[in-house]
Structures are given as structure tokens and as C-alpha cells.
Structure 1
């Protein structure tokens, strides 16, 4: 009797597993890339029940319906901002070679923001100087200060910024801060308490909680780093509000851009959209989107991407830019987990004679990601891509240059998480002098890096290669 019951339970369990496999074989490939589908189905085949549980939690890279419905209201609610930006006298097409005109038009189609002239762009690679500059600009603010950061820590750096915000609020400046609930979870309670006591309006982006009525998914994060002061000065890039040496074993090296001019209004609009999504409050006062007379300066535009922007994938832009390149591509990223489209773009670029370089840190702070990205190096080296392994600090900077014409700087890594799951923001600059200044930073990276060779890289142990290839299977899920 006992044996027959055990056999019945075993049969039911086996039937359940195969039912999950069959159903997931139909469900998983729907609106999903082949790489992602392959990874999910591999997991389902070997561990069907755990795979189903994971899929129900993080299987779809979309926000809940209430958030999508709220986001759909934004164009109408932010009418003043949209009208000011799209009808600006600064709207001007960049002067580009024919091979790069289509990628430039793609950006506007994806993100809805036009190219705006009249901007001054400053590259900021000194970690402490960047914090000094942000604090200084906050101290001079007269009307508004808006900050949106993935990490806002209650450490020496964070307290400096919080004190500047408090002083600004006491002067009557409208100060608003958004911090990602998961990225800043170690400090969020104290940061919110301190900023609120200073009179600063602060909210957590995408809060998570089992009992929370509108809890966000833990893996869909707001990864942006934005500061906008008086609708005139904007900051965007890779650096968070946290000490560079918070972890003594991982000292961060970053790169941000300080931009003054009309493109700051596009950063303002991204912040206003995120603020509305978290608070249901509309920031559309004309004072936040002022009109300015046309002037000189470089052409730039902003691309916001993420699950809120289903058609605005920064990955599409990166692939298009590489396909348009004719001379030189340099990609700097701490995390490199490409999809098939990006790998093919890199391969065809090299075959066209384009000099393609990838700069990645020698050490990363995520072991599985590190192993997954290293599994791609053999393929890249075989293509002819130069892989530079940066020594010393953890190079957390994220930027790309195309020929001598276009620079892309922002919060997005070159991985599937940034391309699909995270809310990201990128500044695209169409200016040879800006690209040249950024290339000076890239040249410095080259000098501090080891250039991988195909022969030496293939001498890794069988165990190392096996672990890397297993991690690669999970790449679309990272």
C-alpha cells in the first residue's frame, strides 16, 4: 500500500514537471529574444518547478498595469515640458556624416526627445571634484534642485549632499530627491529621515515589500543618475552619491557629464516623469521648463530607456551606432553581457575595418556577471576586438564613442539588464571636441590596462572555462 502511494506521488510529480515543461515551451518564447528564451528553457528543462517559481516572480520585464496606465498619462500631463522642448528654438539637427544620420534619427524616435543645440558639456572624471561641483551648484541654486540616484548613501559623501540640500531648502529652493529603494536599501531609512527633517521632498523609487499594495519587482530598478539645478545645469553619468571607497576592496572610478543649456530640460523631464510615477504629483510648472533665447553650443539629446519606455531600448541605439561606425568604436563598461545582435554588430564592424576596443575592469563586484562576461572574450578576440582589462580601481564608467562624431555617456551598462530591465538615462553628444576630450579619458584607460591576447586567454584552465560557460547560460537572466 505504502509503495503504491509513493509510486502515485512520484507519477504525479513527474507529470507536473512535464506539464510545466510543455506549457513553458509555448509561453517562454513569446515576445522574448532567442537568447533569453534559450536560457529560460534550459532552466525549465532541468529544474521545472523552481524555474516556474522564478518565472512567476521575474519572468516578464514589464511593470504592473497600474504603472503602465499611469505612464500613459504623462504626455498629456507634462504638456508644458513637451511643448517647450519640442518647439524650442534650439532644436537643430546635428551635422553628421551620412552613415551616422540614421542612428541620430533613431534616438529621437525611441526616446521622443529632439536634438537641442546651445549646450556646454564638461567631462567630469574626478570623483571628489564631481561631488564638490554638485554641492557648489546646489549652494547657488535659486529655484529648484532635483536629484535622482540609484544609490544615495548615508556616508560622508551623502551627508555633504544632504547638508547642501538642507541649506537650499531653508533658502526657499524647491528640493526633490528620488532614490532607488533597492539600490539604496542600506541607507534609505536614514537618508529619508535626514532629508525630510531638512525640508527636502524625498521618495523611494520602485519600493518593494510583500505587504505593500503596489510593490515593485525587486529586479526592475531605477538605475538612473541625474541632477538638475535651476533647470539650467544637469549632471548625468555613472556616479552615485556614495563614497568611492565605501568598499575598500572595490574603489570606484567614474565618469559624469555636467551640461548647461537647453538639454538640461530633457533631463528635467525625465525626472518629472519618474517623480510622477512615484508620487502622482505633476511637475509641469513653466518655471521648471523656462524658455531661452538661442545661442551657441554643442548639439545633444537625452534618451530615457527602461520598462516604462517599451520602445526605447538603449541596446537598439548601441547596435545602430556600431553598425553606422566607419573608423573607431570604444566601449567602456563595468559589465559586458551582450545579446546576439550586439555581438554581430561588433563582428561586422571589425570586418568593415573599424577599430573596435572594449574597456572593462579587471575585477568586478559580481562574481557570476564577471564569469559570464569573460565567456565572451574569446569570441571578441577571434573577431578582432581589442579587449582592455583595466587595472587598479573598479572602472564603473559607462560611455561609448563612435568615430570622432558621437559620444554616449550615461547610466547604462552594456548588458541585458540595462538594455531590458533597468530604467536608464543616456546623454548623446554630437560634437568632435567633446568626443576628443572623452578619448583622452579612454587613452588613459588604455595606458592602465592589459590588452588581452587570444593565445594567452585560451590558456585558461578547463575548470575556469566551464564555469564561465555555465554562467553564460544564465546571461539573459542576469
Structure 2
């Protein structure tokens, strides 16, 4: 029997509105206001496609099997470092009163304390950073732990793989984690290079759609190196040639860390390895005792992501900006802020803080380019100095506050890093470090274009419209 077209039309109409009303009830739960607004807009414009997309990537939570493993993490890490607990407690840092709030917030989110006795070196030179990493691997005696979002089998990644093979040939245990999405183009090449060697490689969150299904959009975006429990590397740089795309040459910044903070980097790696393999890495060599005392710098490691439900990295960014008294500088390749962070930047500038946002003139994502530019006018009007870096793709990710606090890591200033990606950040409570970070920021500014209100507001009206449309969906990027 044929169903009248009028009945079909009303049924379709009723189904769409049922979906919209259900979305109003369901979507805001466990989601930031910005992300909720983006999803609700999509549901009201295209209800049925929104349902399909929502079931695929709509919740910033890992599947149940993964959450079950996360619950076991505290025990896994405690067992691994049980003999080092006393040594770590001796390095707990006492910070000045004006820094303790930030440290407490970071500890509440990542469960890791601030530790003294560290040395931190910044390396802004792309090839030099890789050569120094290889030199550290060539001196390894017990273990090398690497985790990278993008690990290529090109001349950069290949040179590191060769160093790992050399290390295993002399009896060093080498473990490598690479993200299934970020390194998808290079996985087969890496597996071919490592075939027949003793390097242990695992894929982070490989794509599955049935047993132990995974989410394609929840990724491990960290860049971590731990060597013999004594040397750590953290920052923005992946292991891929600088010109990762034709005409797009990356500018990066990484930090080489020695001292007790490396133990915290080690715990993060142990946790990530367990989540992928269920293998509990253990042994006294993981945490040298006594912990090496390499300097006077106080540092704090901050892991964040869907596995850390008590807070997000943007909470720390926002709190640090609100606490600034003289100067704030954010360097990020992708700027898609939430309202809280945007307000923090505007109010910092309005209360007289020298406030800088440094982004790249060109990135590898056109839609993000459009969306982030929609935020510039409001920032400029509030007095934020917005600078577009010209020579290369500025992929570095760091934040400096006054001359007291510097933060460097893998996290972008966007909703993906805030809600979806596993990230790692190093907070450094040091005047010397922060001044060095500011020196690097000044180098960026020397080759950047400062946006002024009149010139920016004079850009074509059509361009402004397209940017504002991109902004509407920016929480979903």
C-alpha cells in the first residue's frame, strides 16, 4: 500500500524535530558550552546527518574497554615507581605564594606534583634537536622510550629508527609508540625498517569498529622521549622532515629535561604503554636512585586528555593568564579558543597587561585558518597584540607569563587539544627559563606582521562572512 506523500512529509518533519529536541536534552551533558553550541547548531541545521556524526565522534570519551584500563592506571604507575616514591617526595618543591595556585591546579588535573632539582634546555633549531636526540639515544645504557603523534619513515624518522636499532644491538630496551592516525602514512614503512630488529613498536589506538572499537577522533598527540630515566624530551616537534608538506616548513620548539621531572615523564609513558599493551613496565632502572639532581629549576609535568576527567589544559591556560601582572604571550599554530580563554586574554589586555598572540600566517588547515581569524578583531579591539609569523609554519606551542612561568608542550590552543587529544605539557617555574622563552618569542616577532585595527577591519566583507561561518563550527574542529 502506498503511503501518501503528505504523511511521509509530516513524518519526516516530526522525526527531525524529535531529533532536535532530544539533542537539546542530551548534547549539553559532559560537554563544554562552546562544543555544545556547535553540536546543537549542526543538529538544528541537519538533524539526520548530525545523528550519524554524533554517534561516531560526538562524545569526548573513550569506549568502555579503554575506560576500564584507565581505572587500572594508578595501580600500574604506583607499582612501577614504588621504590622511587621516597626519592620523589624529597624533591617536592616549595613555590612562592603567587605560584602555588597554578601548581595546585595543574596537580589537580594531572596528578603530578612540582619538583625541584631540574635543568631545562630549549632547542628551537629543527635539525639540531633531532641530532641531539640521536646523540642521547646513542649513549643510552638501559632503555629508550619514545611516543610521537607523527613518526615518519623519511630521513628524519629513519635516522632515529637507525639509532634505536643500534641501541638494541648493544642490549638497550627500546619501546616506540606511534599514533594510528598521525602516523598512518608511515606505519608500513616503519614496520618494514624494524622487521627483524628488537625494537618494540606499538600503534596507539589503532582503528577498530568491532571488538575493542576505537574512536577515530580521540588521538594521542603527545611527543615524549625518556632515556634511562635520566633524560627527557618534550615539545611540539614530531619526527618528520621540516618541510612536511610542499612549501610548508615547520618551525618548532622542544625542551630537553634532566632531573627528577624525568620521573614524571616516565610515569606518563608507562601509563600510555599499558593502555595500548596491558604490559606493566617495571624495574629499578626506570627510576634511577637517588634521582639525579641536575639544577635548580622547578618543573611540573601536566598530562591531559579524555583519560583525565578532573580538568583540562585550557583551565590551566586560563588561570595563568588571569594571574598575569605584566606580560602574557601565547604561541600556537591553531587558535580556536573557548569563551573562558578568550575572555581571559581580553581582560588581561584591558587591565594593562602586555598581551601577545603569535600565530602563523599560513597553516596546514584552511578551515582552521578561517575560523581562527574570526577571533582577531575582538582581541585587537581589547588591546591584544596579534602577530602573524611569516617565514615558516610556526608549529611551536608555548606560553609565557611575566618573568615567572613558562609552559611548553604538545597542546594547541584549540578545542581538539582541550577536549579530544591526549597532550603533555611542561610547566617551568623559573625566571631564567621564562626569559629564554621570551627571547625566542621576540625572534618570532621580528619576522611577523602586527595586525592593526584599521587594516584588519578593512579586509573584504565576503572574507569576514566566510570567517564567521567557519567560527560557528570551530568548536567541532
Interval containing the TM-score (normalised by the shorter chain): over 0.9
Match of 1:264 among 244, 262, 269: 262
Contact 1:79 1:284 in 2 (8 A): no
User: Which residue does the alignment assign to 1:415?
Assistant: 414
Counterpart-to-counterpart distance in 2, 1:178 and 1:100: 34
User: Which residue does the alignment assign to 1:65?
Assistant: 64
After TM superposition, the structure 1 = structure 2 runs for residues 225-240 of structure 1, keeping only pairs within 5 Å, are: 225-240=223-238
Counterpart-to-counterpart distance in 2, 1:302 and 1:214: 30
Superposition deviation, residue 110 in structure 1 = 1.3
Contact 1:252 1:395 in 2 (8 A): yes
Instruction: Look up the SS of the partner of 2:28 in the other structure.
Output: coil
User: Which residue does the alignment assign to 2:88?
Assistant: 88
Superposition deviation, residue 196 in structure 1 = 4.0
**Residues 396-435 of structure 1 deviation map (CA, whole Å, 9 limit, x = unaligned):** 0000011101110000001111011000000111111111
Superposition deviation, residue 115 in structure 1 = 1.0
Superposition deviation, residue 350 in structure 1 = 1.7
Counterpart-to-counterpart distance in 2, 1:472 and 1:134: 39
Counterpart-to-counterpart distance in 2, 1:294 and 1:186: 39
Superposition deviation, residue 383 in structure 1 = 1.1
User: Which residue does the alignment assign to 1:330?
Assistant: 329
User: Which residue does the alignment assign to 1:23?
Assistant: 22
Counterpart-to-counterpart distance in 2, 1:30 and 1:381: 33
**Residues 325-375 of structure 1 deviation map (CA, whole Å, 9 limit, x = unaligned):** 111111000001000110111122122221110000000111111111000
Contact 1:131 1:157 in 2 (8 A): yes
Which is further off, 28-37 or 280-289? 28-37
Contact 1:181 1:208 in 2 (8 A): yes
RMSD after superposition = 1.5
Q: Give the structure-2-normalised TM-score.
A: 0.97
Contact 1:100 1:321 in 2 (8 A): no
Counterpart-to-counterpart distance in 1, 2:78 and 2:89: 17
After TM superposition, the structure 1 = structure 2 runs for residues 196-345 of structure 1, keeping only pairs within 5 Å, are: 196-210=195-209, 212-292=210-290, 295=293, 296-345=295-344
User: Which residue does the alignment assign to 2:108?
Assistant: 109
Which is further off, 303-312 or 372-381? 303-312
Which is further off, 287-296 or 455-464? 287-296
Counterpart-to-counterpart distance in 2, 1:49 and 1:289: 52
Assess, with a 3 A threshold, how the Cα gap between structure 1 residues 86 and 307 changes in structure 2: closer, same or farther: farther
Counterpart-to-counterpart distance in 2, 1:86 and 1:431: 25
**Residues 121-161 of structure 1 deviation map (CA, whole Å, 9 limit, x = unaligned):** 11000000000011111111000000000000010111101
Superposition deviation, residue 94 in structure 1 = 4.6
Contact 1:89 1:293 in 2 (8 A): no
Instruction: Look up the SS of the partner of 1:132 in the other structure.
Output: helix
Instruction: Look up the SS of the partner of 2:245 in the other structure.
Output: coil
Instruction: Look up the SS of the partner of 1:60 in the other structure.
Output: coil
Counterpart-to-counterpart distance in 2, 1:246 and 1:196: 25
Assess, with a 3 A threshold, how the Cα gap between structure 1 residues 193 and 355 changes in structure 2: closer, same or farther: same
After TM superposition, the structure 1 = structure 2 runs for residues 292-441 of structure 1, keeping only pairs within 5 Å, are: 292=290, 295=293, 296-441=295-440
Contact 1:90 1:118 in 2 (8 A): no
Counterpart-to-counterpart distance in 2, 1:124 and 1:284: 31
Superposition deviation, residue 90 in structure 1 = 4.5
Q: Give the structure-1-normalised TM-score.
A: 0.96
Instruction: Look up the SS of the partner of 1:73 in the other structure.
Output: helix
Superposition deviation, residue 33 in structure 1 = 2.1
**Residues 292-337 of structure 1 deviation map (CA, whole Å, 9 limit, x = unaligned):** 2573421101000000111141111101111111111110000010
Instruction: Look up the SS of the partner of 2:171 in the other structure.
Output: coil
Superposition deviation, residue 195 in structure 1 = 2.3
Q: How many residue pairs get matched?
A: 475
- Gaps in structure 1 of 5+ consecutive residues: none
Contact 1:86 1:113 in 2 (8 A): no
Contact 2:223 2:235 in 1 (8 A): yes
Contact 1:361 1:389 in 2 (8 A): yes
Which is further off, 243-252 or 285-294? 285-294
User: Which residue does the alignment assign to 2:140?
Assistant: 141
Superposition deviation, residue 85 in structure 1 = 4.9
User: Which residue does the alignment assign to 2:51?
Assistant: 52
After TM superposition, the structure 1 = structure 2 runs for residues 117-128 of structure 1, keeping only pairs within 5 Å, are: 117-128=116-127
